[in-house]
Amino acid sequence: GAGVSQSPRYKVAKRGQDVALRCDPISGHVSLFWYQQALGQGPEFLTYFQNEAQLDKSGLPSDRFFAERPEGSVSTLKIQRTQQEDSAVYLCASLKQRLMNTEAFFGQGTRLTVV
Amino acid sequence: KQEVTQIPAALSVPEGENLVLNCSFTDSAIYNLQWFRQDPGKGLTSLLLIQSSQREQTSGRLNASLDKSSGRSTLYIAASQPGDSATYLCAVTSGSRLTFGEGTQLTVNP
């Protein structure tokens, strides 16, 4: 596709519900990131993939958060037993090559509201 | 741990003014620095990417500079327009991630 695509754009979840957020990176892009952005703040790092390998997951806030990219393309961020503090915009970014060399392209984000 | 600070947090200017947004970072061991624009309810749009070996990049009315040794970058916007109103974020790439500042919310008044 022309850009990074994320779905759904908006998600309302009841507290305790599990959610899955999808990211379709730009075709052929090697690197993929997930970020969490609270209202009025800058994005915070969650996790980084190079192809299918999850190289850094140190930003995941708890073991309720899980991300995968099984075939090195589409990625899914899963949040189990959602809580109110999980409400945020979740952004996905992809890069053509490894992190240090290239420009990051971001999707439109998924706005998660936990009620 | 890399920390990124952006000043000012908010800026309101009349149309036509030239303006400067500031970004500072604590660890100078970076690969590159990227400036983004974010409109309300939207994702991030990349504006300029400066590699660590470069001093500046230009795109249209935008010019970004990088002084890696002092840990600073500036984004210069010439002849501002109401359509430039948005939040501007800088991000430095180091280690295995991009680290973002909190952003500068720019309003250009007609």
Tens of each residue's pLDDT in chain A, 115 residues: 579 999 999 999 999 999 999 999 999 999 999 999 999 899 999 999 999 999 999 999 999 999 999 999 999 999 999 999 999 999 999 998 776 668 899 999 999 999 9
Q: Residue B101: pLDDT band by 50, 70, 90 thresholds?
A: very high
Whole-Å CA distances, A57 to A32, A34, A46, B11, B97: 12, 10, 6, 35, 11
What is the distance between the alpha carbons of residues B95 and B47, in angstroms, rounded to a whole number? 22
pLDDT at B73: 98
Instruction: Verify whether the Cβ–Cβ distance B43 to A107 is below 8 Å.
Output: yes
Alpha carbon of A34 to those of A60, B22, B31: distances in Å?
9, 25, 19
Task: List chain B residues with CB under 8 Å of A33.
Answer: 97-98
Give the distance from CA A49 to its chain's centroid.
10
| Chain B CB contacts of A112 below 8 Å | none
Residue B9 has pLDDT above 80, yes or no: yes
Contacts of A59 in chain B (CB under 8 A): 97
In chain B, pLDDT over 70 holds for what percent of residues?
100
pLDDT for res A81: 98
Residue A94 has a pLDDT of 94
- Quick one: pLDDT at residue B36? 97
The pLDDT of residue B95 is above 90 = no
Average pLDDT over residues B46-51: 94
Residue B34 burial (C-beta neighbours within 10 Å; 0-12, 13-18, 19+): buried
Report the residue of B24, B36, B42, B44 to disrupt the A interface, i.e. the one with the largest count of A CBs within 10 Å: B44
